[in-house]
Amino acid sequence: MMKAIKRLLLLSGAAAAMAGGAAQQAQAQKSDQITVAITEGITGNNPYADSVVLIGSIWCQVYGCLTRWDFEKGKFVPFLAESLEPEDDLSWILTLRADWKRHNGDPVVAADVVHSIERSRNDPESMSQASVQYIEKAEVLDDRRLRITTTQKMATLPNYLATMQITSKKIYDEHGAKVADREHPVGAGPYRLVEVGIGSHIVIERVDDHPMVQPTNPKRIIYRMMAEPEQRVTALANGEVQIAQGIPPQLVSRVQQLPNATAEMVDSAEAMFIAMSPKTAPWDNPKVRQAVCHSINREGIARAILGNQVTLLNGPVGAGQLGFDPAYVSPIDYNPEKARKLLEEAGAVGVAVDLYSPVGRYIADRQIAEAVVPMLQDVGFKATLQTPEWATLWTNVQRGETPFYYMGRGNMLDPSPALAQYFETDASPRLKYSNPDVDALLQAERQEFDPEKRVAMLSKAMTAITEDAPACFLWLHKLSWGVAKGVDYKPSKADRVNGWEIHLR
């Protein structure tokens, strides 16, 4: 019997060694390929149907966008555009690069930009309307130039155009949207689309002669949806993935101890907040909203759940983001007694509320929401936690059908579009908040070309939003990414994984 067991163990060991050797060989054969574990899935082949920052950045790698954020320069710079210059108060002249072609050799022409603006606005599946909401019209001047006319004076137009992919009008006209997206995803970005697995993965491949890429960039990148942090860390440890998004604080030390990977830290530009829609009772009463904010012990949650791997916020933005005022201290502090008093004054003691939270989308999201619920109960709310599937929750938030939820808003290096999206009257249905004073400030800052004056207006708008409390601004996560040894990748605040920023040793 013992001999049989020993024989079995020897055979198992040999098999494991063979499997390990095979795995190493497979890895060697794919040394120019990496897999990135991400927290969100792909909704489909339509590049306009995803509003998540990281997913949108993948589509920009494929199709190309007009502008992009340059972290070294601290501003938006041309991408497919050669230049974007104001012509007068309402008009901009956009000139496309002459040296970039689509992956099939076709040029990117001004008609493609006009087409993409209209698709962002009118495609039934589009989640990109916010990118074009201030564009009144776009007209072709010649193959490389077009005039964009805005509904108001817009200093922030380059910001809005950074998130819009430029698809081919010619291919769309020949095949229609669904066939064009699925069978002819011909872009002008540094990577071409290989495969989309709805809800699971997207595969892109380097365009070797593209001016943005180098031989050290990955030849192929597989973005795999892995919702659970343990799954991402285990995959990193096993060599299944080479970059893992969103390592929670309790797993960072484990990643740092891995022989084949390390943890790279970066401050996020994604504000985490609890939103309350004033179009729905009891959130139509500012005292009830303020009571929520006063009830939340942010410092306690940061210490007990997040390992203090956060920067607490005094408003929508933190240091390094446009409009941040280091001297401002929010009056909406942790004060349960004040919260109880505000609820009493509002006649809302015992009011039933459902707090909605994603699970696995953000760092420790469920645990945070579970900690917030008893804090709400302690000050007089009858609070219940709801944790629907992410796809359902996100769809309902975008439709304005979720009145009370915990979430984040990324891409807030320049917060102007995000502030308009959530806090300007009728800008989007996500929050249904309306405040004439905030509207006036947000409209004014978008029109101000003087940087100092614009920053002052942004700061004033954010103070007004913070104190009226349609949202409780909580923190910026200190994001940890798992990165395999042999991969040079420094995460950015923008929460993107661009192939041209990854180098393989």
Domain co-membership, 147 together with 283:
no
Task: Tell me the CATH number at 423.
Answer: 3.10.105.10
- Cβ-Cβ contacts under 8 Å for 396 (sequence gap 6 or more): 388, 402
- pLDDT tens for each residue of the chain, 505 residues long: 333 333 333 333 333 333 343 343 334 336 799 999 999 888 899 999 988 888 999 999 999 999 887 777 777 788 999 999 999 999 999 999 998 899 999 999 999 999 999 999 999 999 888 889 899 999 999 999 999 999 999 998 988 888 889 999 999 999 999 999 999 999 999 999 999 999 899 999 999 999 999 999 999 999 999 989 999 999 999 999 999 998 988 899 999 999 999 999 988 889 999 999 999 999 999 999 999 999 999 999 999 999 898 999 999 999 878 899 999 999 999 999 999 999 999 999 999 999 999 998 888 999 999 999 999 999 999 999 999 999 899 999 999 999 999 999 987 888 998 999 999 999 889 999 999 999 999 999 999 989 899 999 999 999 999 999 999 999 999 889 999 999 999 998 777 899 999 999 8
Domain co-membership, 190 together with 273:
no
In this structure, what token pair is assigned to residue 98? 């002459």
**For 201-356, where are the alpha helices, taking DSSP H only?**
229-237, 249-256, 286-295, 298-304, 336-346
Range of the domain at 42: 33-225
Domain co-membership, 46 together with 168:
yes
Reported pTM: 0.77
Domain co-membership, 56 together with 144:
yes
Would 412 be classed as within a structural domain? yes
Using the 3D structure, point to which of 174, 204, 225 is the last residue of a domain.
Answer: 225
Is the separation of the CB atoms in 62 and 118 below 8 Å? no
Is the separation of the CB atoms in 113 and 169 below 8 Å? no
The CA-atom distances, in angstroms, between 388 and each of 271, 394, 396 are 21, 9, 10
**Residue 334 neighbours by CB distance under 10 Å:** 15
In this structure, what token pair is assigned to residue 297? 């012990």
Q: How far is CA 263 from the centre of its chain?
A: 20
**Residue 339 neighbours by CB distance under 10 Å:** 25
Count how many Cα atoms sit within 13 Å of the Cα of residue 202 in the half-sphere of its side chain.
28
Domain co-membership, 60 together with 171:
yes
Count of the separate structural domains present in the chain: 2
Is the separation of the CB atoms in 504 and 216 below 8 Å? yes
Task: Tell me the CATH number at 44.
Answer: 3.40.190.10
